[in-house]
Amino acid sequence: MNEVDALRVKIFADGADLDGMKAMYANPRIGGFTTNPTLMRKAGIADYREFAHTVLRAIPDRPISFEVFADDFDGMERQALEIASWGANVNVKIPVTNTAGAFTGPVIERLSHAGVAVNVTALMTLDQVRAVTERLAAETPAIISVFAGRIADTGRDPVPLMREAVAIMTARPKAELIWASPRELLNVFQADSVGCHIITATNDILKKLALAGKDLDTYSLETVAMFHDDAAAAGYAIDAGAAREHEAVAAIK
């Protein structure tokens, strides 16, 4: 068993490029998918509903999260119920607050108790984890996405926070914690070590899974060879330049 096969954390692919999503769907290690309006806009998606249905036809049997984009609570709930109707494998992403900072707990509670599998997103504090966990229906599957990568961007170590989040969420056994916005492959193993249920990562990080456990001496040699080959391909010639400089100085003297 290699290091990746030993992982207990589920790996989800994060993105909005249809071809990339299909490629990850062909990988049995990828247990689900997440996306958001920002990723969709970057991918040039013009029709939200059409894109979602296209994805669901291509990926009918693994969890996929689509996010509401209304900013008022009534609008969030209407959009969430519509999105949830698109497929049994759909999780509806609800931001932890609206843009005014109002906690979306009432929306989360109504949806969860109505049987909607929510994915509450953009959390960054343990207080938020506690507040969301309390609103979830015990009998309804749910996801809480803590943006560990963004926490790390502020100079804070997300590992202790994520470990505590796992402990808090034991009050809702059907709820799963996502380590969101990872910055490097190491985060996959960190998420696994703290008992995080899921990590969602972009394709550029997921492609590095092939490097897990790679011999470091071999990797060092390959890196040296890469630098050498790129310098040769660019036609760099420091020695020749140094010789010309020496000749010019000699001529002045």
Q: Which H or E run includes 187?
A: helix 186-193
Q: Assess contact for 83 and 56: CB atoms under 8 A.
A: no
Which of the following is catalytic: 93, 174, 208, 253? 93
Rg of the chain over Cα atoms, rounded to whole angstroms, equals: 23
The two counts, helices (H) then strands (E), for the chain are 12, 8
Q: Is 31 exposed, middle or buried (0-12, 13-18, 19+ CB in 10 A)?
A: middle
CA dihedral 175, 173, 109, 160 (to 10 degrees): -60
Q: 63 vs 27, 92, 114, 207, CA distance in Å?
A: 14, 10, 19, 20
Based on the residue annotation, tell me whether 253 is a catalytic residue of this protein. Answer: no
3-state SS class at 9:
coil
Q: 87 vs 20, 91, 199, 223, 249, CA distance in Å?
A: 21, 9, 22, 46, 76
Catalytic residues: 93
